Structure 1
Amino acid sequence: MSIVRLLARPMLASSFILSGLDRLRHADQTAKQLSPVLSTAVAALPFATDEKMLARVIGGTQLGAGVMLAAGKFSRLSALLLTLTSTLNAVVEYRTADSSTSEGRTQRRHQLLKNVSLAGGMLLAAVDTAGKPGLAWRAGHLAEAGKKNTRKQLKHADKAVRRVANEVTGS
Structure 2
Amino acid sequence: MLIRRVARPLLASVFVADGWRALRHPAQEIEHLPGARKQLTVLAERAPVPLSADVVVRAAGATKIVAGVLLGLGVAPRAAATVLTVLHVPTLAAAHPFWETKGETRREHVAGLVRDGAVLGGLLLAAADTAGKPSLGWRLDAARTTTAKKATTHARHARRTAKVAKVAAKQAAARVPDKAKLALHEVTDRV
Matches within 5 A, 1:130-141: 130-141=131-142
Distance 2:26 2:159 in 1: 69
1:156 partnered with 2:157: yes
**Partner in structure 1 of residue 54 of structure 2:** 52
Distance 1:158 1:49 in 2: 67
Counterpart of 2:126, as a letter, is A
**Partner in structure 1 of residue 43 of structure 2:** 41
1:81 partnered with 2:83: yes
Secondary structure of the corresponding residue to residue 116 of structure 1: helix
**Partner in structure 1 of residue 74 of structure 2:** 72
**Alpha-carbon distance change, 98 to 142 in structure 1, aligned in 2, over 3 angstroms:** closer
Matches within 5 A, 1:89-168: 89-95=91-97, 99-168=100-169
Q: Which runs of 5+ in 1 are unaligned?
A: none
Distance 2:45 2:159 in 1: 62
1:62 partnered with 2:64: yes
The worse-fitting range, judged by mean Cα deviation, of 28-37 and 99-108 is 28-37
Distance 2:30 2:105 in 1: 23
Q: Which runs of 5+ in 2 are unaligned?
A: 174-191
Counterpart of 1:10, as a letter, is P
- List per-residue Cα deviations over 1:93-142 (Å, max 9, x = no partner): 123x6843301110110111111111001000111111111111111111
Counterpart of 2:148, as a letter, is K
Counterpart of 1:112, as a letter, is L
**Partner in structure 2 of residue 27 of structure 1:** 26
The worse-fitting range, judged by mean Cα deviation, of 119-128 and 155-164 is 155-164
Number of residues of Structure 1 aligned to a counterpart in Structure 2: 168
Secondary structure of the corresponding residue to residue 131 of structure 1: coil
The worse-fitting range, judged by mean Cα deviation, of 50-59 and 76-85 is 50-59
Larger Rg computed on CA atoms: 2
**Alpha-carbon distance change, 49 to 155 in structure 1, aligned in 2, over 3 angstroms:** farther
The worse-fitting range, judged by mean Cα deviation, of 56-65 and 156-165 is 156-165
Distance 1:87 1:161 in 2: 62
Distance 2:62 2:50 in 1: 16
**Alpha-carbon distance change, 160 to 20 in structure 1, aligned in 2, over 3 angstroms:** same
Counterpart of 1:17, as a letter, is V
- List per-residue Cα deviations over 1:74-95 (Å, max 9, x = no partner): 1111111111111111011123
Secondary structure of the corresponding residue to residue 129 of structure 1: coil
The worse-fitting range, judged by mean Cα deviation, of 11-20 and 132-141 is 132-141
What TM-score does the superposition give when structure 2 sets the normalisation length? Answer: 0.80
CA-based RMSD of the aligned residues comes to 1.9
Distance 2:123 2:91 in 1: 14
